[in-house]
């Protein structure tokens, strides 16, 4: 009978068991996450066995070099592992080495100095114009309380109709609403402010909510309130979006942030220019907006050809 492959010395395996117990006990990581970390470390120790010509000991791991970790990731990449898998694997190895470092058994500096692979940018898929309209329709909201249904419709309308982030929508106060005019000042990431048009449909949705709401917060307090009167939390809107997904037969990619993405995509499809969409979204650079709206380089050049006076 073939003997099982030994991938590490007994002292390494003993500390591995203690590390895994700490992850699931003190840190309360899920079973799946703990299993993924165990698998990633097992793959690394198997690599080190081949790399060193024998099962690694704690002494071998006591001062790992970035070169060792880069060699491991290079092998995993050749095997087909993607950037996300490699990043998670490196995170597991770092966690184990920090466990050893706390006990004076290793130096985790080499792992900390090793850069994780750059993660690919992923964006939610935009909803169709019809599906986005259904999501923000006050008559299709699922909450039994009329004021809560109106609240949810107003928040979702701000995401799709104004391109706001969910945090920006939920931080709006009564004093932020213009008494006259059709634009609101939004404070976004990094404290940067921008002016965003407030469409009549969005203003009407907000007014309908304010008329029905049983709460009257101070003018400088968030106007969207939870069922008990406290500031509305993003998790509530995210949960409501999941319910709408099921009720309206929408894909899992239909999230609150996908409404903001839909706002930008539909504007671009309707002839909006990237620079204006950049300002509306509050992006720091045009390249971010280019990726966000899914516009390719040929479309970008076409826009410049049509818009630039020297084109």
Residues marked as catalytic:
165, 189, 257, 260, 283, 292
Helices (H), 129-284: 129-136, 146-162, 166-170, 200-212, 234-248, 256-269, 274-281
Helices (H), the chain: 10-24, 31-52, 58-61, 66-78, 83-102, 109-112, 129-136, 146-162, 166-170, 200-212, 234-248, 256-269, 274-281, 286-292, 297-307
* Distance of alpha carbon 42 from alpha carbon 46, whole angstroms: 6
**Cα-based distances in Å from 38 to 19, 59, 87, 249, 262:** 9, 20, 15, 37, 39
Residue labelled with tokens 């259904």 = 134
What is the DSSP code (8-state) at residue 121?
P
Q: Which residues pair with 157 in a beta bridge?
A: none
Both tokens assigned to 279: 């300002």
What is the DSSP code (8-state) at residue 193?
E
Tell me the chain's radius of gyration from C-alpha atoms. Answer: 26
* DSSP helix/strand/coil, 58: helix
């Amino acid at each position: 009978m073939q003997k099982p492959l030994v991938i590490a010395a007994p002292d390494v395996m003993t500390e591995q068991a203690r590390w895994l117990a700490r992850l699931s006990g003190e840190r309360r990581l899920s079973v799946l996450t703990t299993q993924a970390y165990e698998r990633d470390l097992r793959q690394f120790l198997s690599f080190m066995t081949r790399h060193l010509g024998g099962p690694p000991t704690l002494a071998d791991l006591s001062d790992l070099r970035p070169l060792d970790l880069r060699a491991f990731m290079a092998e995993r990449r050749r095997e087909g592992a993607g950037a996300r898998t490699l990043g998670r694997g490196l995170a597991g190895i770092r966690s184990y080495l920090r466990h050893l470092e706390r006990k004076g058994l290793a130096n985790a500096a080499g792992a900390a100095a090793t850069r994780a692979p750059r993660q690919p940018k992923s964006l939610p898929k935009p909803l169709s114009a019809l599906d986005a309209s259904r999501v923000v329709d006050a008559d299709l909201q699922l909450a039994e309380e009329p004021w809560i249904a109106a609240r949810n419709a107003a928040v979702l309308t701000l995401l799709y109709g104004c391109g706001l982030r969910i945090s920006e929508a939920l931080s709006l106060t009564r004093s932020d609403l213009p008494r006259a005019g059709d634009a609101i000042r939004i404070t976004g990431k990094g404290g940067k402010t921008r002016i965003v048009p407030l469409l009549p449909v969005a203003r009407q949705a907000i007014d309908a909510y304010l008329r029905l709401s049983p709460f009257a917060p101070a003018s400088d307090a968030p106007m969207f309130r939870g069922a008990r009167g406290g500031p509305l939390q993003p998790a509530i809107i995210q949960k409501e979006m999941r319910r709408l997904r099921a009720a309206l037969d929408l894909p899992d990619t239909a999230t609150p942030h996908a409404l903001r993405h839909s706002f930008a995509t539909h504007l671009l499809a309707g002839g909006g220019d990237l620079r204006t969409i950049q300002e509306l979204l509050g992006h720091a650079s045009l390249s971010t907006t280019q990726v966000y709206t899914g516009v390719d380089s040929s479309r970008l050049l076409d826009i410049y050809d049509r818009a630039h006076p020297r084109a």
